[in-house]
């Protein structure tokens, strides 16, 4: 049976690295994995999405609307933008974190209120504050790996060697803090 994970957020949040760690660990555990990424204006704070599909045999990396088993959103407005890709019985894991888009930063638009409440009304939602956890660890840039830990727990994949994938894909000087972030994510609820 193929599982579909859609990861969404804003450029600079580490979504592509997270997807590479996820894909690598799953491949190392014997799964067939396909991944695709769209990062348009990623370096300018634009929307970034990656699609990871894994199972016994996967033929395409593309997840259609209504097909994602899990939608993991590193920024809450991006969750609203991509919610239609989640299966009706799917799970949303969302970081309660806001990054203003260009119109919001320019003052021509306002960041929507009550996003989390709206999401909870629509789908089964797990809300996390990965930003706060990353701050406690001393590096805000590891909130992506906190989210990865939470995703792994949600998907019951904690028996896979995640530390090895992190060690192989993260610069050596950041391995220790990323492993700590991953383990914190595993414990979030």
* SS (HEC) of the chain: CCEEEEEEEECCCCHHHHHHHHHHHHHHCCCEEEEEEECCCHHHCCEEEEEEEEECCCCCCCCCCCCEEEEEECCHHHHHHHHHHEEEEEEEEEECCCCCCHHHHHCCCCCCCCHHHHHHHHCEEEEECHHHHHHHHCCHHHHHHHHHHHHHHHCCCCCCCHHHHHHHHCCHHHHHHHHHHHHHHHHCC
Output the pTM of the full model.
0.93
Q: What is the pLDDT of residue 162?
A: 98
The reported pLDDT for the residue numbered 102 is: 66
Would you state the pLDDT for residue 37?
A: 84
Cα 31 from Cα 66, distance rounded (Å): 23
| pLDDT < 50 stretches in the chain | 42
- For residue 99, the model assigns a pLDDT of 85
Contact present, 116 and 94 (Cβ < 8 Å): yes
Domains of the chain: 3-186 (3.40.920.10)
């Amino acid at each position: 049976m193929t599982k579909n994970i859609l990861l969404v957020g804003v450029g600079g949040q580490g979504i592509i690295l997270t997807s590479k760690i996820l894909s690598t660990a799953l491949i190392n555990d014997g799964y067939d994995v396909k991944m695709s990424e769209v990062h348009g204006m990623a370096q300018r704070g634009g929307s970034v999405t990656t699609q990871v599909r894994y199972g016994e045999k996967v033929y395409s990396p593309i997840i259609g609307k209504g097909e994602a088993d899990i939608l993991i959103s590193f920024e809450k407005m991006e969750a609203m933008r991509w919610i239609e890709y989640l299966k009706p019985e799917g799970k949303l894991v969302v970081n309660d974190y806001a990054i203003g888009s260009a119109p919001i930063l320019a003052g021509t638009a306002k960041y929507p209120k009550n996003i989390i409440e709206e999401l909870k009304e629509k789908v089964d939602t797990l809300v996390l504050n990965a930003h706060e956890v990353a701050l406690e660890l001393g590096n805000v840039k590891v909130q992506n790996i906190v989210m990865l830990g939470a995703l792994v727990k949600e998907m019951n994949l904690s028996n896979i060697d995640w530390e090895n994938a992190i060690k192989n894909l993260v610069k050596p000087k950041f391995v220790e803090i990323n492993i700590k972030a991953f383990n914190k994510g595993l414990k979030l609820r």
